[in-house]
A and B are shown apart, each in its own frame.
Chain A
Amino acid sequence: MIRNYLKIAWRNLGKNRVFSFINIFGLALGLASFLLISLYVTDELSYDRYNEFADRIYRVDSDIRMGGTDLSLSVTSDPMGETLKKEFPQVEEYVRIYASSGSKLIRHGAEFLQEDRVAHADSTLFKIFTLPVVAGRAEHALDAPNTVVISESAARRYFGDPQAAVGQDLETQDGDGTRYRVTAVFKDIPEQSHTDFDFFFSMDNVQYNWGNFASHNFNTYVLLRDPADAAGFPDKFEVIIEKYLSPLLRQFMNTDLESFRKSGNKIEYSLMPLTDIHLHSNRVSEFRPGGDIQNVYIFSLAALFVLVIACVNFMNLSTARSSGRAREVGIRKTLGSEKSALVGQFLIESILLAALALALAFGLCALALPWFNDISGKSLHLADLLRPGYLLFLLLLPFVVGTLAGLYPAFFLAAFNPIRVLKGHKKTGGAEPRFRSALVVFQFAASMILIIGTLVIYNQLEYIRHAKLGFNKEQVVVVDTGGIAEANREAFKNEVAALSSVSRASFAGYLPVANSSRNSTSFSTDPVSTETNVFNMQIWGTDYDYIPTLGMELLEGRNFSPEYGSDSLAIIINEKAAALMGVDNPVGKKLYSKSPDMEEPEVYTIIGMIRDFNFESLRENVGPLGLRLGRNNWEAAFRVLPGKIEQTLDDIEARYHELAPGMPFQYTFLDESFDQMYRQEQRMGQVALSFAALAILIACLGLFGLVTYVAEQRTKEIGIRKVLGASLGNILALLSRDFLKLVLIAFVIGSPLAWWAMHLWLQDFAYRAPIGIWVFAVTGGAALGIALLTVAFKAFRAALANPVNSLRTE
């Protein structure tokens, strides 16, 4: 029986090539995007799950508010882990990872290689994370100073063989150069990990003022004995704050915990489950930018949308084609087929089609994967689809999709009355065209939502990149001067500044782009700090040329100048800081800062105010910022004259190599670094764009199929109308009108939904571009235009056909 059905299905495919192609290709497009997204989502959800104790590992996060400034940190104080273990038996072990020292230069033969995936850690690393050791010993591996554990691939890179690496020394270029003994080699950490470092150096080599509960700089992980214990930690942290932080408040801020909190300040700690870090945590001092659960949702939703649109296409075309199958249904019924057998037959057909579409979807996936990896920033492989769990899912997919898409047409077809269809009645009940219309409306509404979403995302991206900039990011080259000996950096800067194509030069260790250094300090407006006059402010060490080189705008006062001898304690603040101080013109006012080891606070005089600019992502409001003169010479910024970039880069590189032989020359363009901050949004935009294009393509395929069908159905009517004198335009209007009405209805339904969804999306941004009417006008116009083209293409042929031919066949 099934063979009989499959045969019929197969021969039907061949008979209606256009329909079959539209059906299978449309479904394949939907399935392909579904497969790609499910690869992406699986990858995103798998982060850190390779850890055996994943469900018991938590990171200690800190939330601090002082003087109206909020800080959400992924780090905590250095004694926190040990204290938790000591105070609470629920904590089995803890480890600190310190990655704030940035990249390291490591000797490889005569050269130094820059290694970015470096951190310092405690030996307990191996007790918490699943890090199989392939050579050496994990126990006490990092207890001694100047020890390091490295990944297998790093071991191969530097020593050729993991076994040979143990006991050898790595030479780094920290300051005057330090040697580290390799004590263990671990298996490479999977890419799907937020801790995928290649080198863990001994914690002992971190230069730090240890034991300070008030400084938060260490990513600290605890291993609980039981995951259920996590619920009790809010209280436990309260105990820690009472016991260890209250004394500090009294000592340095002359306040107790109660009044500290009463005045709107806070210090809070919390546990973040390890497996949530990648998608749910976006705090200061993350090791690397994580994913975003919102993106996972949006991607999944978009993929589902496209798949559903493709399924709807399938339903629509199958039902539309039903008249071709009606006679067969009639015959089968007179031959004794029961309705269930017919439903089964048509379901098998649609499952077969879905299976073919799936095969084609694999091909499409293979073609699209490099592109998709590019825009999603992943390295996914088609082979990932063939993992056991996934394979089962794939085998089931044609059945699920085939059944979903085929159920309605199957019941629709199986319900034909044999006598009527055998007599040649083609018309069936009135409900059926209405249902098809509803499907078309759904497809177009979904497509338009995706298009509107895309437009809003792109509009917002453009807005972000140009709004509230406050500095000039174009034509600035930023050179990493870390490889040049400290004493020679000034000379390097001056030599480059002397180039004719360089208009301005400045050291610029702190830059208003992502992944640049940050330094937060608390200031008070009075010599004695109380909980009400303190606020946290970014304080960046700069030099005399920093403001002009970056094109920042001074609103009040003056820039630093060598002419004023006292500028070492001068400070230039931004508008936000002035607002926090409650003054319009802050020039001349004083700011006080006192660190724990100081007797008296340092007194800064405000000499200028600059226009606000964003130094974090535009998702956040501009925070308070202060510039002062200071050491910041690990990076230098050069403003280059337009059109001279390449030559200038060569010149800079030549000078760099003179002063730093064997060191890698590394530079970035400020505008590119700036754009990096919006990589997520750009990816979102690109993905939304692709899905919107796919959705509209599939919807148009469906529309094309429907118009073809309707034109065929109405051939006779068209013929009669032409004989009666209808013009080409009349016929086109006749065939197009109904469909365009559907597109309009779809627009009316889709627009408010899209507006609402994008309105929600925009809430995440501190700076939002309004959703203009033009977005809807463009979308409506485009959808209408595309639909019209699709319809007209087919209607034209129907209208041009010679009426004699169509009438004679009757």
Chain B
Amino acid sequence: MLLELNNIFKWVTQGGNRVFLLKHLDLAVEQGDFLSVMGPSGSGKSTLLHVLGMLDDFNEGEYYFQGEPVHGFRDKQRARFQKEHIGFVFQAYHLIDELTVYENIETPLLYQKVSSSERKALVADMLDRFGIVGKKDLFPAQLSGGQQQLVGVARALIGKPRLLLADEPTGNLNSRQSREIMELFQELNAEGTTIIQATHSETNAAYGSRTLHLLDGSWTSTPEP
């Protein structure tokens, strides 16, 4: 078991009333899963990914990651766990505009205090693998959307995370670019990376090994491991 959510609640208080973002949510994800989360806008997909990615708190429930109780972690512990085990891919890519492709991919390694020579080797491998060696000195603004997302994925994977979280990774891409990214995900999953993606698209969801539907912060059907 890679991670497990037990009875997670998350809410915000608006005008004295609780508005539930996540409600009574259970989830179990095994090592090597490729899970697609679907649901309409506002159903809580992003919130769920943020909770799973340890970027956001929840109000009630338990979250175990590799058997460790994330709900009991302090901020520092959480940040350390996050940078060691989790990679993010965003719809809007979120590359740092002031850094080149090479530097963007390298950044997570800096936070993990990887030595300079090792960083060089790792980034070179990644550039090679994604076929963007020729673009390594360009800035994000000089790339197409598909290329930017490729860099985003490369950056998410450089730290060899156990879990890749992707929030609408192809939301800003055309269909050809989407297909390329999804095929890449499938490949990565086959190599053993656990992936959880949030998506609006049935086509993209189909790349996953299973799909769960979210509505108003709850599963529409009971999840099965």
Residues on A facing B (Cβ under 8 Å):
1, 4, 7-8, 11-12, 15, 327-328, 330-338, 341, 418-419, 422
Contacts and interface: CB of A to CB of B under 8 A. Distances in A.
B107 A335 contact: yes
Nearest to A8: B98
Nearest 7 pairs of A and B residues by beta carbon: A336-B83, A11-B98, A336-B111, A335-B108, A331-B94, A334-B88, A1-B110
A336 B96 contact: no
Nearest to B92: A422
A175 B103 CA distance: 86
B98 A15 contact: yes
A709 B94 CA distance: 23
Contacts of A333: 55
A402 B27 CA distance: 48
A743 B98 CA distance: 36
B55 A4 contact: no
A334 to B, nearest CB: 5
B142 to A, nearest CB: 14
A421 B50 CA distance: 13
A11, A333, A335: which has the most chain B beta carbons within 10 Å? A335
B169 interface: no
Nearest to A337: B111
A334 B55 contact: yes
B56 interface: yes
A338 B80 CA distance: 8
Contacts of A341: 111
A334 B53 contact: yes
B207 interface: no
A331 B95 contact: yes
A418 B55 contact: yes
Interface residues of B, number: 27
Contact of A336 (B79, B98, B99, B106): B79
Contact of B108 (A11, A328, A336, A419): A336
Contact of A327 (B50, B82, B84, B94): B94
B209 interface: no
Q: Is the interface of A mostly helix, strand, loop or mixed?
A: helix
A231 to B, nearest CB: 58
A8 B83 contact: no
B159 interface: yes
Given A335-B107, A336-B79, A336-B111, A419 B94 contact: no
A331 B96 contact: yes
Contacts of A334: 53, 55, 82, 88, 94
A701 B55 CA distance: 38
B112 interface: yes
12 contacts: A1-B110, A327-B94, A328-B96, A332-B111, A333-B55, A334-B82, A335-B88, A335-B108, A336-B159, A337-B83, A338-B111, A419-B56
Contacts of A330: 94
B76 interface: yes
A757 B84 CA distance: 59
Given A4-B110, A7-B103, A338 B79 contact: yes
B96 A419 contact: no
B82, B88, B110: which has the most chain A beta carbons within 10 Å? B110
B155 interface: yes
B126 to A, nearest CB: 14
A419 B111 contact: no
B111 A335 contact: yes
B11 interface: no
A341 B110 CA distance: 10
Contacts of A7: 98-99, 103
Nearest to B106: A4
B53 A12 contact: no
Contacts of B55: 333-334, 418-419
B64 interface: no
B20 interface: no
Interface string B63-104: 000000000000010010011100010101011111100010
B98 A419 contact: no
Contacts of B83: 335-337
Given A4-B110, A335-B107, A422 B79 contact: no
B97, B106, B108, B112: which has the most chain A beta carbons within 10 Å? B97
Contacts of A418: 55
Contacts of B88: 334-335
A751 B83 CA distance: 54
Contacts of A327: 94
Contacts of B98: 7-8, 11-12, 15, 328
Given A15-B98, A334-B88, 9 more contacts: A4-B110, A12-B98, A328-B97, A331-B94, A335-B107, A336-B111, A336-B159, A338-B79, A419-B50
A338 B76 contact: yes
Contacts of B50: 419
B108, B111, B159: which has the most chain A beta carbons within 10 Å? B111
Nearest to B99: A8
B99 A332 contact: no
Contacts of B76: 338
A11 B99 CA distance: 8
A328 B50 CA distance: 17
Contacts of B97: 328
Given A1-B110, A336-B108, A418-B55, A8 B79 contact: no
A413 to B, nearest CB: 14
Given A331-B95, A336-B79, A422 B107 contact: no
A321 to B, nearest CB: 13
B85 to A, nearest CB: 10
Contact of A335 (B56, B103, B155): B155
